[in-house]
Amino acid sequence: MRKQIAAANWKMNLTYQQGTTLLQDLVTADISLKENQSAVFAVPFPYLEMAIDTVHHKYNFFIAAQNCSDKKSGAFTGEVSAEMLNSIDINYCLVGHSERREYFNESNALLAGKVNICLANNITPVFCCGEALQTREDNKQNTFVEQQLRESLFHLSKDEILKIVIAYEPIWAIGTGKTASTEQAQEMHAHIRQVLKNQYGESIAEQISILYGGSVKAANAKEIFGSKDVDGGLVGGASLVATEFTAIIKALK
Ligand code: PEP
């Protein structure tokens, strides 16, 4: 069975104290994950060590970085390397969130480099993809997302692609309160899996977790996660409220 993942993306929100309290509330909530389920928290860089200490005793809770450099090390002031993340036992890193693509000009080629450096440092990239509203209105979302996958992931070997988590996040649904319908989400997830199948074969495509992101909340998580090819969610706004995110974790298959 594929891994089912509820991933929180705190973005640039919460003070250290607020973040600590939120994580403490989540680890003490009545959540017991099954073997195939994980909760992943992408927190701001300065909170990583606190977050690891807070969740370390909780089964299948993991901490993620929201970004890392595509460079190995050296004179890159302000950057954080995958090697640094690995040295403090970070297991996951978001790669290519649409906000980084849009505000920091991250291209598919650059993201291929970030994927490589994460894998080289035993970090699972949560690779984000997804189309803007205009692309969907032009009905070009399938080819657009396929190109993102092709240019950032398809240089990977079969062993390597198995270490990737994909998050489909239609940009028009992020932080807007507008969710893709269950049909739209399932349709795109099935397309992504088909594209993976064409490239790597069915047994590999069936093992890769594909998360949905875009205004997931407690009230809609169960329905969205219920679709065949949706293996959980990447959650922004609703991950900042302990009761909301607890319910989202509990909605995993
Ligand atoms: C996100 O930041 O990846 C996201 C999906 O945000 P929201 O849940 O707020 O739409």
Tell me the pLDDT band of 45, cut-offs 50, 70 and 90. very high
* Among the listed residues 191, 175, 171, the one whose alpha carbon sits nearest the alpha carbon of residue 183: 191
Q: How many CA atoms lie within 13 Å of 116's alpha carbon, on the beta-carbon side?
A: 15
What pLDDT shows up at residue 245? Answer: 98
Structure tokens at 16: 């250290």
Q: Which residues pair with 167 in a beta bridge?
A: 128, 211
At residue 172, the 3 state secondary structure works out as helix
Beta strands per DSSP E along 70-156: 92-95, 124-129
* Binding site membership of 226 for ligand 1 (Cβ less than 6 Å): no
9-24: average pLDDT: 98
Print burial letters for 216-241: b (CB count within 10 Å at least 16), e (below 16).
bbbebbeebbebebbbbbbbbbbbbe
How much of the chain exceeds pLDDT 90, in percent? 97
Tell me the pLDDT band of 178, cut-offs 50, 70 and 90. confident
How far are the Cα atoms of 29, 108, 140, 227 from residue 118, in angstroms, in the given order?
Answer: 31, 15, 30, 29
Q: How many CA atoms lie within 13 Å of 38's alpha carbon, on the beta-carbon side?
A: 21
208-213: average pLDDT: 98
7-29: average pLDDT: 98
20-32: average pLDDT: 97
How far are the Cα atoms of 78, 112, 184, 189 from residue 82, in angstroms, in the given order?
Answer: 13, 14, 34, 28
The overall average pLDDT reported for the chain is 97
Q: How many CA atoms lie within 13 Å of 149's alpha carbon, on the beta-carbon side?
A: 27
9-34: average pLDDT: 98
* Binding site membership of 178 for ligand 1 (Cβ less than 6 Å): no
What pLDDT shows up at residue 4? Answer: 98
* Among the listed residues 67, 43, 73, the one whose alpha carbon sits nearest the alpha carbon of residue 55: 43
Tell me the pLDDT band of 102, cut-offs 50, 70 and 90. very high
* Binding site membership of 240 for ligand 1 (Cβ less than 6 Å): no
Pure H helices in 29-127:
48-55, 82-87, 98-103, 108-120
At residue 33, the 3 state secondary structure works out as coil
Structure tokens at 134: 């205009």
pLDDT one-digit tens code per residue, 108-120:
999 999 999 999 9
Substitution site in 174, 240, 244 for ligand 1 pocket (most atoms within 8 Å of beta carbon): 174
Nearest CA residue ID for atom 4, ligand 1: 236
97 is an active site residue: yes
How far, in Å, is the centroid of ligand 1 from the Cα of 236? 4
169 is an active site residue: yes
pLDDT exceeds cutoff 90 at 203: yes
Tell me the pLDDT band of 61, cut-offs 50, 70 and 90. very high
How far are the Cα atoms of 14, 78, 97 from residue 130, in angstroms, in the given order?
Answer: 26, 28, 9
147-151: average pLDDT: 98
Q: Compute the distance between CA of residue 216 and CA of residue 141 in angstroms, rounded to an integer.
A: 20
